[in-house]
Amino acid sequence: MAARVFIDGEAGTTGLLIRDLLAARADIEIVSIDPDKRKDAGAKRDLMAGVDLVILCLPDDAAKESVALAAELGDRAPKILDASTAHRCAAGWVYGFAELASGQAEAIAGAKLVANPGCYATGAIALLRPLVDAGLIPADFPITINAVSGYSGGGKSMIADYEARRAPDFELYALGLEHKHIPEIQAYANLTRRALFVPSVADFRQGMIVSIPLHLDALPGQPTGPALEAALQAHYAGGGFVRVIAADARAAEAGKLEPQALNDTNAMELRVHANDARKHAVLTARLDNLGKGASRAAVQNLDLMLGLA
* pLDDT, tens digit, 9 for 90 and up, residues 66-82: 999 999 999 999 999 99
pLDDT at 248: 84
pLDDT class of 239 with cuts at 50, 70, 90: confident
SS3 236: coil
The amino acid that residue 80 corresponds to is I
Helix, strand, or coil (residue 96): coil
Give the per-residue pLDDT at 18: 97
Scanning the chain, the segments in alpha helix (DSSP H) are 13-23, 41-48, 60-71, 104-109, 119-133, 155-163, 182-188, 225-235, 247-250, 296-305
CB 5 within 8 A of CB 53: yes
* The pLDDT value given to residue 153: 87
pTM of the model: 0.96
- Kindly tell me if the per-residue pLDDT of 38 is higher than 90: no
Which tens digits make up the pLDDT trace of 263-272? 999 999 999 9
Exposed/middle/buried for residue 248 (C-beta within 10 Å: 0-12, 13-18, 19+): exposed
Other CB atoms within 10 Å distance of the CB of residue 164: 8
Average pLDDT, integer, range 189-216: 98
- Helical ranges in 72-146 per DSSP H: 104-109, 119-133
Mean pLDDT score across all residues of the chain: 95
Nearest residue to 5 (alpha-carbon basis) of 45, 53, 49, 63: 53
39 — pLDDT class (breaks 50, 70, 90): confident
Look at residue 157 and tell me whether its pLDDT is greater than 90: no
At residue 309, the pLDDT reads 76
Catalytic annotation present for 119: yes
**pLDDT attached to residue 274:** 96
pLDDT tens digits, 95-141: 999 999 999 999 999 999 999 999 999 999 999 999 999 999 999 99
Pairing state of beta strands 3-8 and 53-56? parallel
What is the spatial distance between Cα 26 and Cα 3, in angstroms, rounded to a whole number? 9
Of 119, 143, 267, 302, which is the active-site residue? 119
| % the chain with pLDDT above 70 | 100
Cβ proximity of 151 and 203 under 8 Å: yes
Q: How far apart are CA 181 and CA 159, in angstroms?
A: 20
CA distance 120 to 149: 8
